[in-house]
């Protein structure tokens, strides 16, 4: 069982570059989300989706875009990377569309913006 | 808005001794609370959850947590630490919209042999 798959695992960008972090899940979960993890700050929600075609902003959405064209995929786009976006990014899914409880996490993407 | 505060950023215990990781929450209503664990270079995993049933909640790997409304606390405990328990632990509260989880800043547990 693959679960939640994130690619790439590591990425280095220059300021101003754009890129897409990929996330796919094979559990038929309707709920998917993106978090960033920074030292001493826990995980902060960037965007989430409760189904194909439906997305919403989380706590720190600025500088990021998402789309949900299929149940399986939930890519995160950085439009113009900034050093403040250096972080570890986690994608997570849940079988519960409402009342999110158990999140299934990917293994993370470590992003450095120079 | 809901929030959680983890009172210790680092906790160090000896193998075989009790573990206590402290979490206080702030909520205007009866919250849903969770503990997640993150082992090095891994994603997070749900340890246990409280959703207004029994106040003493048992989780995986011998961990348990007690919801105390009067103290607005949800501390995580384990009677006897094992080396494999070394990880980062996050106290989490579910938002009013029930679609988002808010994570605490984390407590890194170190287990000494």
Residue of B43, B90, B106 lying closest to A108 (CB–CB): B43
Per DSSP, helices labelled H in B13-53 are none
Q: How far off is chain B from A40, nearest CA to CA, in Å? A: 5
- Pseudo-torsion of CA B80, B84, B87, B90, nearest 10°? -50
Q: Is-contact A51 A58, C-beta < 8 A?
A: no
| pLDDT, one tens digit for every residue, chain B (113 residues) | 788 999 999 999 999 999 999 999 997 777 899 999 999 888 889 999 998 778 899 999 999 999 998 999 999 999 999 999 999 999 999 877 777 888 999 999 999 99
CA diameter of chain A: 39
Predicted local distance difference test score (pLDDT) of residue B78: 98
CATH of the domain at B92: 2.60.40.10
Could you give the CA distance from residue B21 to residue A57 in angstroms, rounded to a whole number?
31
Cis amide leading into B74 (omega within 30): no
pLDDT in tens, B66-81: 999 899 999 999 999 9
For tokens 């503990």, the residue is: B35
Q: How far off is chain A from B45, nearest CA to CA, in Å? A: 7
What is the rounded average pLDDT for all residues in chain B? 92
When divided into structural domains, chain B yields a total of 1
Best of A43, A94, A109 to disrupt the B interface (most B CBs within 10 Å) is A43
Nearest to A101 by CA among B67, B68, B85, B95: B95
Q: What residue numbers bound the domain in which B108 lies?
A: 3-112
Nearest to B44 by CA among B104, B111, B98: B104
Could you give the CA distance from residue B71 to residue A29 in angstroms, rounded to a whole number?
36
Distances (CA, A) of B65 to B9, B55, B75: 18, 8, 5
């Amino acid at each position: 069982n693959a679960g939640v798959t994130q690619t790439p695992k590591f990425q280095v960008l220059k300021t101003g570059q754009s890129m897409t972090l990929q996330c796919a899940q094979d559990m038929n979960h309707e709920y998917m989300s993106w978090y960033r993890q920074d030292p001493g700050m826990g995980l902060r929600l960037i965007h989430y989706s409760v189904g194909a075609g439906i997305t919403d902003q989380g706590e720190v959405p600025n500088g990021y875009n998402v789309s949900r064209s299929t149940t399986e995929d939930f890519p995160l786009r950085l439009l113009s990377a900034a050093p403040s976006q250096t972080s570890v990014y986690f994608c997570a899914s849940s079988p519960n569309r409402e009342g999110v409880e158990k999140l299934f996490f990917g293994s993370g993407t470590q992003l450095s913006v120079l | 808005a809901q929030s959680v505060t983890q009172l210790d950023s680092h906790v160090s215990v000896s193998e075989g001794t009790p573990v206590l990781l402290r979490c206080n929450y702030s909520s205007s209503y009866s919250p849903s609370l969770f503990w997640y664990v993150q082992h090095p270079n891994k994603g997070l995993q749900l340890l246990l959850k409280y959703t207004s049933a029994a106040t003493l909640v048992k989780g995986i790997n011998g961990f348990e947590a007690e919801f105390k409304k009067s103290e607005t606390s949800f501390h995580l405990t384990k009677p006897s630490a094992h080396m494999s328990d070394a990880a980062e632990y996050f106290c989490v509260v579910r938002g009013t919209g029930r679609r988002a989880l808010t994570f605490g800043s984390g407590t890194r547990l170190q287990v000494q042999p």
